Amino acid sequence: MKFATRYGQFLMVLAVLVIGATVFSVGVGAQDEGWRIIRADYGYKTQRADVTNLLIQLIIRGGENGKIPVNDPAMGGDPAVGKEKTLHILARNRKNEEREFEFKQHSNLDVHLFDVRRGDWDDRSENHHGRDHDDWNAFRIVTAYYGVQGRTLNVTDLLRNRVRDGMLNLVVTNSAMGGDPAAGSDKILIVVYRVQGNETATAVREGNTLSIP
């Protein structure tokens, strides 16, 4: 009886180990695919906005609990008002194989699906300690874009120069942003910023006031 009980326990432990090893292997395999984003756009049919750079920035920062919401604010605006939109991503893995991903509006994207090397897209220093410690903990504009549907201006340096006493306050207008990248369109300002080592992003529509942190 004791032998049978111990043998049964042994089989249960073995089963758990086998299942655990299988799940671990699947997870590692998915990560090892290394899907690098080539292009990403968000919208409905032909009414689509190029969100490649924005999406990569969001993935670099890990989203919220590893998830990025597929909605108008997160994607930098609404390229097709009143329509049910999708996020379309073209990616390539380490074997040079290409694959298309599609996410419906109001769903969530798992950042672990994609392999993004921060150094390819981000101008932050790799050294967050030592001589860069004070800079890392201060308020800083990481990156900023102004425009709509792929027609954007990189206004990172412009906004950095407008920071006063650790704060940034301004009305989002074409003149304040240094130009009009999309005449006749309602534009949006996307700002990724860092405060005390924590990063977040905000989106402000043209004509509204940006006030951070």
Q: What is the pLDDT of residues 89-127, one digit of tens each?
A: 999 988 889 999 999 999 999 988 998 754 444 444 444
**Residues near 39 by beta carbon (within 8 Å), at least 6 away in sequence:** 50, 52, 89, 90
Rounded-to-integer distance, Cα 173 and Cα 181, Å: 11
Q: Which two tokens stand for residue 205?
A: 């529509």
pLDDT at res. 28? 37
pLDDT at res. 134? 52
pLDDT at res. 110? 92
Per the CB < 8 A criterion, the answer to whether 114 and 37 are in contact is yes
Rounded-to-integer distance, Cα 109 and Cα 102, Å: 10
- 2-16, 50-64, 83-97, 186-200: which is most confident: 83-97
Instruction: Specify the range with the lowest mean pLDDT, choosing from 71-75, 142-146, 173-177.
Output: 71-75
Q: Is the model's pLDDT at 31 over the cut of 80?
A: no
Q: Is the model's pLDDT at 59 over the cut of 70?
A: yes
pLDDT at res. 6? 46
How many residues comprise the chain? Answer: 213
* Mean pLDDT for the stretch of residues 62-85: 85
Separation of CA 14 from chain center: 40
Reported as half-sphere exposure (CB side, CA atoms, 13 A), residue 32 has a value of: 6
* Mean pLDDT for the stretch of residues 198-203: 78
- pLDDT band, residue 79 (cuts 50/70/90): confident
Rounded-to-integer distance, Cα 82 and Cα 61, Å: 29
pLDDT at res. 88? 96
Rounded-to-integer distance, Cα 211 and Cα 175, Å: 17
* Mean pLDDT for the stretch of residues 138-156: 84
Is this structure's pTM higher than 0.85? no
Q: Which two tokens stand for residue 200?
A: 């977040």
Amino acid at the residue 43: G
Residue 146 pairs with which residues in a beta bridge? 153, 189
- pLDDT band, residue 33 (cuts 50/70/90): low
Q: Which residue has the higher pLDDT, 117 or 153?
A: 153
Question: Which of 139, 130, 189 lies closest to 164, judged by CA?
Answer: 139
